[in-house]
Structure formats: structure tokens, C-alpha cells
Amino acid sequence: MKLKLDKLRKLHAHREISIQSVEDSFKEQLSTIREQRKQINEALDKLEKGTLNELTAVKERLTTAMRNDVVNCTRIFEELKSLTDTLQYITNKSTYLLFIANTKCLEKIKHSEKFLQETSVKVKIPDKITFQADPYIKQFLTQLSSLGKIIEVDSEAKSTWSLPGWRMFSQCGSSSVSLTLSTSVLLM
């Protein structure tokens, strides 16, 4: 009876220690999981920032090209309108002034035709930006069921090894070897 009581006390003490060990390792692994989540979020933030930088660069390039055309159109339009108004004003005035204004008007018309021709020959500037998400990122993340594998380890085992392949199995000299699904080897 005393032997059974001693065994029960030892088992009780061992289980109490094991419970504390599980609690401690749980807290440690919880911290590891949260750190992993933080690193994944940082990587996603970096991807988002890169994508937003690219989006901004495209917007700036397109709007700059369009603004240049708007500025040129406005300038040429105002110059032509001003010359047209001048021509109407001096129509009944001096023939010499009319000739000078007409010559300037013809030069501006040629300049505007050249601008319009160059603008129409240019590659068409897109007037809309769209985003096409990489389907593999979302697909990969949605297929995962967790951030990693939870492995139960017996602290009384001598060591746990992760093997890159089966070749190392034959080199192992332990009398008791077990393989898990993740190709970890537990030596006892």
C-alpha cells in the first residue's frame, strides 16, 4: 500500500510539474505565434506600401502628361482667341495692322494644328487606373488553416530533430526512433 501511495505522490508531483510546463510552453508559443502574426502583418504592410507607391507614381505620371496638354491647350486657345478679337477690332482700321495680325493669326493656327497633330499621334493617355490583385497571395492565405504546426514534445526525450530527408534516418544510431508527419525525428 505504501508503495502505491509513493507512486501516486510521484505521479501527482510529475503531473503538476507537467501541467506547469504545458502552461509555460503555451505562453511561450502564444508569444511566438503573435510575433509570427506581427511579422506577417509587417510583410503585408510592406506589400501594401509598395503597391500604393506604384499606384501614386502611375497617377502622377498620367496626370502630369494630361496637365501639360491642358496647359498647352489653354495657352493656344487664349492666344487664338486674343488674335481673333484683335482681328475683329482692327478690321476697319489700317491695312498694315490687319496684315500683321492676319500673319500672326496664321502662325498661331499652324502652331495649334501642329500641337493637335502631335497630341493625336502620341500614345493615348489612359484616363482610368485599375488594380488587379495577385490572386495567388489571397488564395495561398485562405488555404492555410494555421500559421504553423503545433507539435507535442515529451520533455523526457533526449532530443528532437527535424530532418531534411530520409537519408539521415539510416545514419541515426538510436534504438528507439519515431518519425512524425512533419519529418521530425524524436530520439528516446
pLDDT in tens, 97-123: 888 888 888 899 999 998 888 887 776
Q: Residue 152 domain-assigned?
A: no
Confidence bin at 158 (pLDDT 50/70/90): low
Confidence bin at 186 (pLDDT 50/70/90): very low
Same domain, 117 and 90: yes
pTM exceeding the 0.85 threshold for the entire prediction:
no
Which 8-state DSSP code applies to residue 162?
E
Q: Residue 78 domain-assigned?
A: yes
Same domain, 69 and 45: yes
Q: How many CB atoms neighbour CB 139 within 10 A?
A: 9
Say yes or no to pLDDT of 172 above 70: no
Q: What percent of the chain has pLDDT over 90?
A: 41
- Residue 22: φ, ψ to 5°: -65, -45
Same domain, 114 and 79: yes
What CA–CA distances, in Å, run from 183 to 85, 87, 97?
88, 91, 96
**What local confidence, expressed as pLDDT, does residue 157 receive?**
64
Measured between alpha carbons, how far is 65 from 176 in angstroms, rounded to an integer?
73
